[in-house]
Structure 1
Amino acid sequence: MQENIALATTKARRRDWIGLAVIAIPCLIYSMDLTVLYLAVPQITADLKPSAAGLLWIVDIYGFMVAGALVTMGTLGDRVGRRKVLLIGAAAFGVTSVLAAYSTSAGMLIFARALQGLAAATLAPSTLSLIRNMFLDPRERALAIGIWVASFSAGAAIGPVFGGLILAHFWWGAVFLINVPVMLMLLVLGPLLLPEFRDPHAGHMDLVSAGQSIIAVLAVIYGIKRIAEDGLATLPVIAIVIGVIVAMVFFRRERRLADPLIDVRLFSAPAFGAALATNVLGLFMVLGAFLFITQYLQLVLGLGPLEAGLWMAPSGVVFALGSMAAPPLVRNFQPATVIATGLLLSAAGFASLTQIADAGSPWLLFGGMLAFCIGMSPIGAITTDLVLSAAPPERAGAASAISETSFELGGALGIAVFGSLFTFVYGRAMRATDLHALPVSAVESAKDGLGGAINAAQALTAEQGAQLLVAARAAFVYAFEVTSAVSAMCAVLAAMTAARLLRGAGTRG
């Protein structure tokens, strides 16, 4: 067993590349698990009959627990061994997947999903930090990280399609059982192919810091997501304030500790902080856009879930291919140049979506989506490599966890901010439309969203229903165009920021 990070050669062995394949497949499953549940919601609702709040917790608790526990699990891997934490997490993920599949009540499913999220939090930082230590050659490490990021993108791409096929033939619990054979494979092959790494000088785990980090991230992510789904309210605002205060206390504590949970000196490296900021901004824009693209395909164009999933699937393929293209790109161009150019291409894609009102088919949407996906696709692999390269090998687990947490935060912020903006613009557009001839209750339902308009239209006459749907769809498209314009401006600002802050970061191999 290899207990330190000093290797006889910088070139990876054949065994390391096979090991990379072994850890990439669970990452693909982990990514699928983030999306596949959405398709099972109707069946779960019919079977377990959760309340509206219970259904939200079923969907959200997994992501909450992943985000909250990432830093703790990454640092734990640095101390006790990354392979050990990965294998324990894989076993727990498999067991909790079975528990979720055979849940007999909403409460049981929420509990199982919470435990599954804790187990999943071991996968990303453990696998990424293993890559940091298995591949010491910068070119090989960049390629390995590209493959690792591509596995997440591939999972996101095939998740909705694969999930739709499973749900067409099996009950909803089957979407969880697909995790079990993959985790069993990791448990069998992991000890044979993956080396063990740990920080030989690591001290004891500071449980107070671990608790503070979990509370801070959970509170902020919870508050942001609740505002996105329910609007501005007292409880989520209090949660965000508590999270920020706990985070400030946490960082003050880390500066004083001789053996901190997170080495705050990492943030003093310009490339580290700039790469994290780019992660946040990238996911901020992408998830903010995807939130409305899926609704547009189904609620405006009238596509079914599987057909909408097929239109969305190429975006994941593009992200996977772009992640693989990142290493050769940074060998020929500076990372700042690649990232800034990608963000400008993304801005063009977002800008094209501002003309979607003139399109009667998905093709304009598809072209704009592909453009911003192509632009964004290599960025995650490049910034992840910059983050890992800025951290010493013995701190790779913590650095990996911080990187993943930045993605989680960016995604949550994107959904919250763009969701709030979209709701505001949609509501104003509906209020500006002359619908006085329609029942007040139907109009009020339509102001809550296009889904509400569709439900309200079913209780009206054919002529009234058509009038309400035309107005609601026009308001939806207008709000989509406004948020796309804001996304385009954010992408341009992000490109300018990345070009400045990442100048000179990384090297061309």
Structure 2
Amino acid sequence: MASTMTVDISPRAGRREWVGLAVLALPCMLYSMDLTVLNLAIPELARDLRPTASQLLWIIDIYGFMVAGFLMVMGSLGDRLGRRRILLIGAAAFGAASVLAAFAQTAEQLIAARAVLGIAGATLAPSTLSLITSMFRDEGQRTFAISIWIMSFSVGALIGPVAGGLLIQYFWWGAVFLAGVPIMVLLLILGPLLLPEYRDPNAGRIDFASALLSLAAVLSLIYGVKHWADVGVDGQTLLALGAGALLVVVFLRRQRRIANPLVDLALFRSRQFSLALTVNTVAVFFMFGIFIFVAQYLQLVLGMAPLEAGLWSLPGAVAFTLAAPFTARLAERFPAVQVMTGGLLMAVVGFVVMGLAQGLFAVVAANILIGVGFTPVMALTTGFVVGAAPVEKAGIASAMSETGSELGGATGVALLGSLLTAVYRARMADAPVQGLPPDLAMAAQATLAGAVEAAQQVPAAAGLLAEGRAAFTDAFHMTAFLAALALAALALLVLRVLSSATPQPAGH
């Protein structure tokens, strides 16, 4: 590996840094592609490997679990051992694990390979973001670079299903994993040539007890939230969430006592850091939660096929992607806090439109407004988080931002999903189910998918399906209005608190 280079202290980035940014965008695209591309491969994969229902869930979920659990550990390791070094080690591991996943012969082998992919993937987001912080010291350039960084994730999410579909159609399910190997090889070649190395010169040894505590806490919380989303509140959900909360308390107490903490709690003394991290998490909470319901609305209420629903979902994602480069230009002309507040208010308008929507085009328009509105929120809150941290702490600050996003997304799906389901069930409790078998009647009163299945099997249940669609639409609208109210309050809080916080350069 190339020797450590001195970071340029010039405030303005040059050609080398911009080419390096392009290199950093590659693994970010691959990271988000790996979150979406597997869904298309599930049918063929299931036929070949014949996993049990439980194994299939682990094949899908283990990647996200490992990413969420190891983000803070990898961010801290990057600050201590070198961010470029951790990124390149992660890239090599990601490429190797991709090959193992592609040629897995059993469900157990694929689960293990996906777990390694998740651990390696956890090096990508904090390492790339903290390297951007080191490379782009000028605030305007850094905001633009972070916008491109965010756009690369969006592009990966957009092209993932398309690329995956083509690979599966012309090759086999394992090809979706091999697609990432050339990208990682390119990163390993160009990374040492174009990317600077940076580490915290005063960092002590990593506290492995803290690393294990953070891993166990995040995994427990993520598992509890996902289990809540899948089956509702039960003993397993309460146990996982309770254990996660207890581990968080133990983790925080340990960070206050030890000399070299994994997370520097002094970062939270900055209102800029704390509120930006909160806004980022809340924004992802509503963004992920509502987009899941849009997909259900298009398929179950409007009756679209999955591909058609996916295509009508693209305008919002495209709007989010295309709006990213303009965030920096807006932030140059107007105070960043005003741009962020404006984005939140545009998202509020989008959610209000969605709450009033009665058809396809209103939902698509709402999706576009929400996508464009959230773009500056995600870019600028990320910039505030890494900008508020000293440059030597940028790795762990980046990891905390990504961990907040993971928790926000999982919690949004679980909590908003539980709310929507509760409203639907309350509306359907007295729905007429005479003439239906008990199992179909119970399924129809529990979820709209159950009502659709009942109508397909028993034509006389068409009236029940119409009532179920109306109940789902009411619950969908109520959830959208709740999001609008919460984000409006958040916009006021941002305008009041962050307006009085002077952004500090990353190297303060």
Name the TM-score class by shorter chain: over 0.9
Cα drift, residue 19 of structure 1: 0.9
Between 1:187-196 and 1:44-53, the stretch displaced more is: 44-53
Deviations for 1:399-443, whole angstroms, at most 9, x for unmatched residues? 110111111111111011101001111112222322324333211
Distance 1:366 1:189 in 2: 40
Calculate percent identity across the aligned residue pairs: 49
For structure 1, which runs of at least 5 residues remain unmatched after alignment?
Answer: none
**1:443 and 1:468 in contact (8 A); partners too:** no
Is 2:478 aligned against 1:478? Answer: no
Partner of 2:186: 185
Aligned length: 504
**1:161 and 1:309 in contact (8 A); partners too:** no
Is 2:262 aligned against 1:261? Answer: yes
Cα drift, residue 159 of structure 1: 2.2
Cα drift, residue 508 of structure 1: 11
Give the counterpart letter for 2:232 in structure 1: G
Assess, with a 3 A threshold, how the Cα gap between structure 1 residues 375 and 196 changes in structure 2: closer, same or farther.
same
Partner of 2:363: 365
Cα drift, residue 219 of structure 1: 0.7
Is 2:465 aligned against 1:469? Answer: yes
Partner of 1:289: 290
Distance 2:146 2:162 in 1: 25
Distance 1:64 1:8 in 2: 37
Is 2:497 aligned against 1:501? Answer: yes
- 1:75-474 correspondence runs (5 A): 75-356=76-357, 358-359=358-359, 362-460=360-458, 462=459, 464-474=460-470
**1:224 and 1:236 in contact (8 A); partners too:** yes
Distance 1:447 1:169 in 2: 41
Cα drift, residue 340 of structure 1: 1.9
Cα drift, residue 14 of structure 1: 1.0
Deviations for 1:179-222, whole angstroms, at most 9, x for unmatched residues? 11111111111111111111122211111111111111111111
Cα drift, residue 459 of structure 1: 2.8
**Partner SS, residue 458 of structure 1:** helix
Partner of 2:45: 44
Cα drift, residue 176 of structure 1: 1.5
Between 1:272-281 and 1:185-194, the stretch displaced more is: 185-194
**1:300 and 1:473 in contact (8 A); partners too:** yes
**Partner SS, residue 214 of structure 1:** helix
Distance 1:86 1:392 in 2: 20
Cα drift, residue 292 of structure 1: 0.9
Cα drift, residue 164 of structure 1: 3.0
**2:352 and 2:480 in contact (8 A); partners too:** yes
Cα drift, residue 3 of structure 1: 4.3
**Partner SS, residue 337 of structure 1:** helix
Distance 1:451 1:421 in 2: 16
Give the counterpart letter for 1:56 in structure 2: L
TM score, norm. by length of structure 1: 0.95
Between 1:164-173 and 1:281-290, the stretch displaced more is: 164-173
TM score, norm. by length of structure 2: 0.95
Cα drift, residue 352 of structure 1: 1.3
Partner of 2:483: 487
Between 1:249-258 and 1:432-441, the stretch displaced more is: 432-441
Cα drift, residue 8 of structure 1: 4.4
**1:85 and 1:126 in contact (8 A); partners too:** yes
**Partner SS, residue 378 of structure 1:** helix
Assess, with a 3 A threshold, how the Cα gap between structure 1 residues 304 and 166 changes in structure 2: closer, same or farther.
farther
Deviations for 1:461-481, whole angstroms, at most 9, x for unmatched residues? x3x243343233222222211
**2:388 and 2:504 in contact (8 A); partners too:** no
**2:255 and 2:264 in contact (8 A); partners too:** yes
Assess, with a 3 A threshold, how the Cα gap between structure 1 residues 304 and 310 changes in structure 2: closer, same or farther.
same
**1:142 and 1:385 in contact (8 A); partners too:** yes
Assess, with a 3 A threshold, how the Cα gap between structure 1 residues 163 and 293 changes in structure 2: closer, same or farther.
farther
Cα drift, residue 89 of structure 1: 0.4
Deviations for 1:241-268, whole angstroms, at most 9, x for unmatched residues? 1111111111111112222111110010
Cα drift, residue 346 of structure 1: 0.9
Distance 1:4 1:66 in 2: 29
Assess, with a 3 A threshold, how the Cα gap between structure 1 residues 299 and 401 changes in structure 2: closer, same or farther.
same
Distance 1:96 1:295 in 2: 33
Cα drift, residue 4 of structure 1: 7.2
Assess, with a 3 A threshold, how the Cα gap between structure 1 residues 145 and 310 changes in structure 2: closer, same or farther.
same
Distance 1:239 1:150 in 2: 34
Assess, with a 3 A threshold, how the Cα gap between structure 1 residues 51 and 468 changes in structure 2: closer, same or farther.
farther
**1:334 and 1:504 in contact (8 A); partners too:** no
Assess, with a 3 A threshold, how the Cα gap between structure 1 residues 342 and 432 changes in structure 2: closer, same or farther.
farther
Cα drift, residue 38 of structure 1: 2.1
Give the counterpart letter for 2:427 in structure 1: A
**2:315 and 2:364 in contact (8 A); partners too:** no
Distance 2:168 2:302 in 1: 23
Assess, with a 3 A threshold, how the Cα gap between structure 1 residues 206 and 438 changes in structure 2: closer, same or farther.
same
